[in-house]
């Protein structure tokens, strides 16, 4: 259905309703924090959530309370693993815009890519035949570019949104049901997973959306996603970062010219106190050197990349432990090990820039060797602190809403 096939009175009514939708949306709370939610845990699953509608987090003030946080918690509960959900939101993204957004988000880094644009296109009353063709192209491109599972979120009942519960809302809801039928067919053809979102249970006194609504949808998404992840055996999707990529990501964040950060200092101090080591740092590595952006216990100078322990850490998907550096040929000849510092123990976990490039590590150094089992337990702590550090880096990110 499009404007040409609608009667003049209905066309006018729908345009007035769209103005009403835009007015309601402009007054809503939505998340303004770092576009990531996580649950710390080993071998974390990485999910990319792109688009409009439920991906925006309308009605709540943090992505932890919106769909990314709810999905991360549901994934962790269902798999016993960690989960990191990155979100690329746009308030009106439909299929046409989603194709550009997905391409720029590097979907190959993720175990699953979840696309949301059905509601935006339904309220615009897009023509079904053209929409089918665009969705086929979007899903084909995303499946080809992604190393994991691709999910399309069907439009939830439009009238389940309190402010959209009206006669024009029913017209949009009928159109959404048509688009959902098309999407179900196209997903089957493309090898993607179609998730028909239902209306959340009533509650919250007419609020637009609540955390319980997002948890409701997260469970529906994860229940459909888990079998597909098991079928793929979920390889680690994140690739090692090249030196030139790190240098560019560091330049975008202006880390080379910043004088430190109190919150990152606090994260590093927590690592030192919690793990009982002599030194803890957040190190940054470009293409030629490593330097401590935040440190506790010692201030080490920058060193050539070839002498770095953290360069090995950022090549791993889930951190690195060196129980006794004297016994490790990679580090036994280092001045930090053989020299006066006498360092023996190391544990580190990669830290990513907002664009996913691994630019450094949260790491600890000790002068006493430890058992490997103790080191693996330390990684559990460093994993969560690294995710907190990544969230802090979002404050440095200059890129505005996509």
User: Across 249-397, where does the E strand assignment appear?
Assistant: 279-285, 289-296, 303-304, 320-322, 345-352, 358-366
Q: For residue 370, give Cα distances in angstroms to 259, 346, 366.
A: 33, 9, 9
Look at residue 12 and tell me whether its pLDDT is greater than 70.
Answer: no
pLDDT digits (tens, 9 = 90+) for 114-169: 999 999 999 888 999 999 999 999 999 999 998 889 999 999 998 887 777 777 77
pLDDT of residue 235: 47
- Please indicate whether residue 209 or residue 218 has the higher confidence score (pLDDT): 218
Reduce the DSSP state of residue 118 to 3 states and report it. Answer: helix
Look at residue 400 and tell me whether its pLDDT is greater than 50.
Answer: no
Look at residue 399 and tell me whether its pLDDT is greater than 70.
Answer: no
pLDDT of residue 246: 92
Torsion angle in degrees (nearest 10) through CA of 380, 381, 383, 387? 150
Report the pLDDT averaged over residues 223-244: 72
Cα–Cα distance measured from residue 179 to residue 173, given in angstroms and rounded to the nearest whole number: 10
Q: Name the packing angle between helices 8-26 and 167-190 (round to 10°).
A: 80
pLDDT of residue 312: 93
Residues 192-203 as b/e (b if ≥16 CB within 10 A, e otherwise) read: bbbbbbeebeee
- Please indicate whether residue 3 or residue 170 has the higher confidence score (pLDDT): 170
Look at residue 22 and tell me whether its pLDDT is greater than 90.
Answer: no
Sheet holding 36-39, edge to edge: 36-39, 83-89, 45-51, 112-116, 149-153, 193-195
pLDDT of residue 87: 95
- Please indicate whether residue 42 or residue 376 has the higher confidence score (pLDDT): 376
Confidence of residue 110 (pLDDT cuts 50, 70, 90): very high
Look at residue 230 and tell me whether its pLDDT is greater than 80.
Answer: no
- Please indicate whether residue 171 or residue 237 has the higher confidence score (pLDDT): 171
Report the pLDDT averaged over residues 176-184: 96
* Residues counted in the chain: 402
- Please indicate whether residue 257 or residue 322 has the higher confidence score (pLDDT): 322
pLDDT of residue 395: 82
pLDDT of residue 149: 94
Report the pLDDT averaged over residues 313-336: 90
pLDDT of residue 62: 92
Q: For residue 233, give Cα distances in angstroms to 22, 111, 144, 150, 230.
A: 42, 10, 18, 15, 5
Look at residue 291 and tell me whether its pLDDT is greater than 70.
Answer: yes
Cα–Cα distance measured from residue 188 to residue 342, given in angstroms and rounded to the nearest whole number: 60
Report the pLDDT averaged over residues 242-246: 88
pLDDT of residue 401: 44
> Lowest-pLDDT range, 48-62, 153-167, 176-190, 259-273?
153-167
pLDDT of residue 1: 43
Confidence of residue 6 (pLDDT cuts 50, 70, 90): low
> Lowest-pLDDT range, 79-88, 124-133, 252-261?
252-261
pLDDT of residue 201: 77
pLDDT mean across residues, the chain: 87
Q: Which phi and psi (to 5°) does residue 76 adopt?
A: -65, -40
- Please indicate whether residue 13 or residue 274 has the higher confidence score (pLDDT): 274
């Amino acid at each position: 259905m499009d404007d040409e096939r609608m009667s003049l009175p209905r066309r006018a009514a729908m345009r007035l309703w769209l103005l009403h939708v835009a007015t309601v949306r402009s007054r809503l709370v939505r998340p303004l924090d770092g576009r990531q939610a996580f649950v710390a845990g080993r071998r974390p699953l990485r999910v990319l959530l792109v688009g409009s509608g439920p991906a925006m987090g309308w009605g709540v003030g943090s992505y932890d309370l919106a769909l990314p946080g709810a999905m991360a918690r549901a994934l962790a509960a269902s798999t016993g693993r960690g989960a990191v959900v990155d979100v690329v939101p746009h308030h009106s993204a439909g299929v046409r815009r989603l194709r550009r957004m997905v391409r720029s988000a590097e979907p190959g880094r993720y175990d699953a890519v979840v696309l949301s644009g059905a509601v935006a296109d339904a309220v615009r009353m897009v023509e079904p035949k053209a929409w089918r063709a665009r969705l086929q192209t979007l899903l084909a491109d995303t499946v080809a570019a992604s190393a994991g599972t691709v999910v399309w979120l069907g439009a939830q009942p439009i009238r389940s949104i309190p402010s959209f519960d009206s006669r024009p809302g029913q017209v949009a809801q009928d159109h959404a049901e048509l688009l959902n039928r098309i999407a179900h067919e196209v997903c089957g053809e493309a090898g993607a997973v179609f998730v028909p979102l239902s209306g959340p249970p009533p509650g919250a006194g007419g609020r637009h959306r609540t955390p319980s609504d997002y948890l409701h949808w997260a469970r529906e998404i994860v229940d459909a996603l888990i079998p597909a992840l098991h079928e793929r055996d979920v390889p680690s999707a994140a690739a090692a970062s090249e030196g030139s990529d790190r240098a560019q990501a560091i330049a975008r964040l202006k880390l080379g010219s910043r004088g430190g950060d109190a919150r990152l200092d606090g994260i590093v101090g927590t690592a030192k106190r919690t793990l009982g080591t002599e030194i803890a740092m957040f190190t940054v590595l470009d293409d030629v050197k490593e330097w401590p952006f935040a440190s506790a216990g010692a201030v080490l100078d920058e060193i050539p990349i070839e002498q770095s322990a953290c360069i090995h850490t950022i090549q791993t998907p889930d951190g690195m432990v060196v129980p006794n550096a004297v016994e490790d040929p990679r580090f036994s000849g280092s001045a930090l090990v053989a020299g006066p510092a006498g360092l023996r123990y190391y544990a580190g976990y990669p830290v990513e820039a907002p664009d996913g490039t691994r630019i450094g590590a949260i790491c600890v150094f000790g002068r006493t060797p430890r058992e490997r089992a103790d080191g693996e337990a330390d990684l559990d702590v460093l994993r969560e602190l690294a995710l907190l550090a990544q969230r802090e880096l979002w404050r440095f990110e200059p890129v505005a809403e996509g």
